[in-house]
Chains A and B, each alone.
Chain A
Amino acid sequence: MFRGVESPNERLQRRVLAPLFSTGAGYRAFVLFLVAVVAWGVYAYIVQVNYGLMATGMRDVVMWGLYLVNFVFFIGISHAGTLISGILRVTHAGWRTPITRMAELITVVAISIGAIMPIIDMGRPDRVWHMIAFGRLQSPLLWDIISITSYLAGSLIYLYLPTIPDMALMRDRLAKGTSSLRQKIYTFLAVGWQNTPDQRRRLDKAIGIMALAIIPVAVSVHTVVSFVFSMTLRPGWDSTLFGIYFVIGAIFSGIATILIVMAIFRKLYHFEEFITDKHFRLLSYLLLTALLLYLYLTFSEYLTVAYKLAGEEKQLLATLWTGSNAPWFWLFVVAGMVVPAFLIIIRRGPVIPRVVTAAVLVNIAMWAKRFVVIIPSLQVPLMPFEFGAYAPTWVEWSITAAAFAAFILIFTLFAKVVPLISIWEVAEEQEKEEAPAQETREKQQPAMRPSPLGRRQV
């Protein structure tokens, strides 16, 4: 296909852009399957709207169920983007460049799915506008609306900004006249990017501001999500630790999610060259750091409660440790804390399978952990009767499956529109690394200019 020597930048463009222009049967079948799952979830939701929340396992005592578990889980993994691209960009960690785009994409898709969950949880979703019309500032739910809206807007902007040069690349690669709609979209999204010094200056400035601004917003979001629980006097929720506990938990599951997504697309899109063992290794250290912080917070949270055993907390701990919720709790401890820690610390065998196993376990365990936080606290009676019972119905399981399918579906569709690796940032980083050795060649071939070779190839 290529004659002569292919420069690293050309190879990068070819590899990253290839999936955007060729769609296989497997891809179509997978999308069809995901659409079917989402459609089944929509059917379940129609059943729920018709019959009311009686179609779910939620009742007056345990009034929150899987929907809120999913809500906290998805908002949690949305912290992936903030951590990887916000914090690593601010600290100039060069190795971040091939994975920032995926991290930012996870953020946007996860918040969108997460933000829908409380509306699905409502028996009267038509009243959601009451939150805007009659919302009262003393309600943590209003705090949620304000901070999640701000976070969604901010992370959309933060996802979009670094795609501009890549959009321009796509615009230039598509021959004029062919596939006109697609080209129009890329032209609009590229906002006339020509890689002029003035444009570079403006883009660097914009990205720099957003990288800083998005970090406090992300922290505020998960703090406010935790306030929905910790602003009550319920056993298990009545804790001052909850803000930071949720934030660390979010970062923890966020890193795990990036690892999984990285591994999948590395395999499917043949990104082996750009996403290497090094990225998995470095991210696994971050995962371990988050794990240890989370372990520490979990330990202090349960020790302080168990030592005092105030009020109903004895019943809560009994149901968590030895009672009906014990399987969930110990699943969290073993699969989320113990096994991943050993998988990362004991460095035997190839790094990627080891770290990805840990990441999958962490995500399963963190979903279970959100269940453990929300449901048992509601089961402990505040009046001296009736332990609450909760068993999710098929409606809730269907909508939960649809939520995960929708997450993967949106991600899959995005992956056909947006290059999953930030080409210009990786090229820039390559340039920086190779600059001392091959100064002349790289200078002659500025990374940002779409090469005429590439245009012919498509």
Chain B
Amino acid sequence: MRRGKILLAVAVGVIVAAIAGGIAFAQPPRQVPPPYAGVKNPFPWDDTSVQKAGKQVYQRACLCHGPDGGSLSGADFSSPDFPLNIEKDQDFYFWVVSEGETNIGMPGFKTSLSDQERWQVLTYMWSLGKKAPPTTPPSSAPPPSGATLYLTAPAQDVAGQPLTFTAMLQNRGGSAIDGATVQFFVKVDFFTTGLMALGEAVTDGQGIAVFNYTPHLSGDIEVVARYQDVETASPLALAAPAVPFYQAQAEVKLPTVGKDIFIGPPSALQLGEMGNAPVGGFRLPGGYLSWLWLLVIMVALLWATYFRVIYQVYRMPAVNRIGAANTRVLPAIVLIMITVAGLVIIAMLFHSPYTHFHFLR
């Protein structure tokens, strides 16, 4: 039952996505704005020297679309009907290349590419569809494995917490498949919706493959497990963590002597409302023997030196008063300013919102 529902959901999802994608790009809106409306390609579409020039621009600027133009399903230049579309709506395509469609991640190139270069790249894109190989007959695809893949994943959790995905693999007869490699993905939105590979795990004697993953972003995602041609998905709602988890992927763990010392309100440990920066607190990472002392000592020594120097000036007047003026006023003011500035700078070393370097957790 459940499998059927999932399959249905996936099928509906795929169809909706395909329709949406198709509407988004295959049917260009007719209202191309004035500077672009009605412009024509100054080059013949089949001019190979123009295509060659366009290819160089394409390889520099259009790599999201893949070397053959077919990487993004919403804008597939490798499909055989693309050359006809681009010939029919050339002003539309020139407009999109120039101004971009920033809401779906397509940047505009009018500042970085000349008019000529943009037409060259469109001419090259025209040739991509011409080059497209005939659609491969279905007979050449590998025969369906007939296996069944069950995916167990938590339906909701908090980003930053380690998760465990369990996939169970059975053959047509219902018995476990041992030693098979199952791939795990999450479906993410990045310019276009796609599967981001997380890694793979090998099934054991019970046909079970276990995969551990710590998500770093919150939001509603989908976990996908794949074995050959079989795919199973499971939705996963990831809540934002109460405590931010800034962690560098490549960190160096230094040995620390003590526990972090923190003085400040509890709200200093959390992100503020609407993800605003947390309020500050005073921290001594690594406890009383923190590395931070080295910096503090250096800064304190410097400002103490300034103080000492101005103190010499303060002591300079042989007599306190010359005429009506108290000549110690100026150095006294400067001494106070140095003290305040030095203390503020030292406080800045200790004081910050939640994190210091990533050395400690």
Contact = CB atoms under 8 A, between A and B. Distances in A.
A132 B112 contact: no
Nearest to B302: A150
Interface in A383-432: 384-389
B353 A136 contact: yes
A199 interface: yes
The bracket for how many chain A residues form the interface is 35 or more
Contacts of A154: 302, 306
Interface stretch (B85-93, B124-132, B253-261, B308-316): B308-316
A188 B63 contact: no
A221 to B, nearest CB: 12
A164 B317 CA distance: 11
A142 B345 CA distance: 10
Contact of B355 (A138, A199, A203, A388): A138
A189 B318 contact: no
Interface stretch (B16-24, B180-188, B323-331): B323-331
A203 B331 CA distance: 13
Contact of B317 (A135, A149, A191, A388): A191
B336 interface: no
A134 B348 contact: no
Interface string A159-196: 00100100000000000100000001001111111101
If over half of A's interface residues share one DSSP class (helix, strand or loop), that class is named, otherwise mixed; here it is helix
Given A191-B328, A191-B330, A386-B61, A213 B348 contact: no
A202 B312 contact: yes
A137 B345 CA distance: 11
B260 to A, nearest CB: 14
B313 A202 contact: yes
Interface centre among B107, B316, B352 (most CB of A within 10 A): B316
A192 B112 contact: no
Nearest to A315: B60
A140 to B, nearest CB: 13
A133 B280 contact: yes
Given A136-B352, A187-B322, 11 more contacts: A149-B341, A157-B309, A157-B334, A161-B309, A190-B327, A191-B330, A192-B322, A192-B327, A217-B302, A385-B63, A386-B61
Interface of A: 132-138, 142, 145-146, 149-150, 153-154, 157, 161, 164, 176, 184, 187-194, 196, 198-199, 202-203, 205-206, 209-210, 213, 217, 384-389
Interface of B: 60-64, 107, 109, 111-112, 277, 280, 292, 299, 302-303, 305-306, 308-310, 312-323, 325, 327-331, 334, 338, 341, 344-345, 348-349, 352-353, 355-357
5 contacts: A136-B353, A150-B345, A164-B313, A192-B317, A203-B313
Q: Closest 10 interchain pairs by CB? A: A192-B317, A384-B63, A192-B327, A206-B312, A202-B312, A136-B352, A387-B112, A389-B111, A206-B309, A191-B327
